């Protein structure tokens, strides 16, 4: 049927050795790729979750805070520190700049800056803070 192989024993043995060497190379490559895939999966599973909020810090003595970002923002610089939701809100209300790309102030329901402070809670549910920020999501007055 398939008799297109070499007719003599010596060439057949050479072909067998050649194919065995190729099978060993192929098996070794398969093992390397499976190991790499398993390592990547392990790394993906054991990677720590990114922080929810990040403060970008500056250069120099005391490393002053520069900007607040959402944890997944692509504009975060290399100098950073994770912060909690409460600290991010506090920093924003204290006047720290919010990233213009990820807009953490909007995500934290701190909508916009106002020029004049009003300590009155309005009927729409907004409250103006002493720092001049308008915070939404506060229950409205009856």
Give the contacts of 82 (CB within 8 A, at least 6 positions apart). 51, 52, 53, 54, 55, 71
Q: Is the pLDDT of residue 110 over 60?
A: yes
Tokens of 56: 């970008």
The structure tokens 């402070």 sit at 117
The average confidence (pLDDT) of the chain is 81
Residues 38-57 have pLDDT tens digits of 999 999 999 888 899 999 99
Q: Is the pLDDT of residue 13 over 90?
A: yes
Question: How many residues comprise the chain?
Answer: 142
């Amino acid at each position: 049927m398939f008799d297109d192989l070499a007719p003599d024993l010596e060439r057949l043995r050479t072909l067998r050795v050649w194919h065995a060497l190729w099978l060993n190379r192929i098996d070794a490559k398969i093992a390397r790729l499976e190991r790499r895939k398993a390592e990547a999966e392990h790394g993906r599973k054991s990677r720590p979750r990114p922080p929810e909020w990040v403060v970008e810090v500056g250069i120099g003595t005391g490393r002053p805070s520069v900007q607040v970002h959402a944890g997944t923002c692509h504009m975060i610089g290399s100098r950073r520190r994770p912060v909690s939701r409460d600290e991010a809100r506090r920093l924003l209300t204290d006047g720290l700049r919010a990233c213009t790309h990820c807009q953490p102030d909007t995500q934290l329901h701190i909508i916009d800056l106002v020029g004049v402070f009003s300590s009155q809670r309005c009927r729409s549910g907004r409250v103006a803070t002493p720092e001049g920020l308008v915070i939404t999501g506060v229950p409205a007055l009856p």
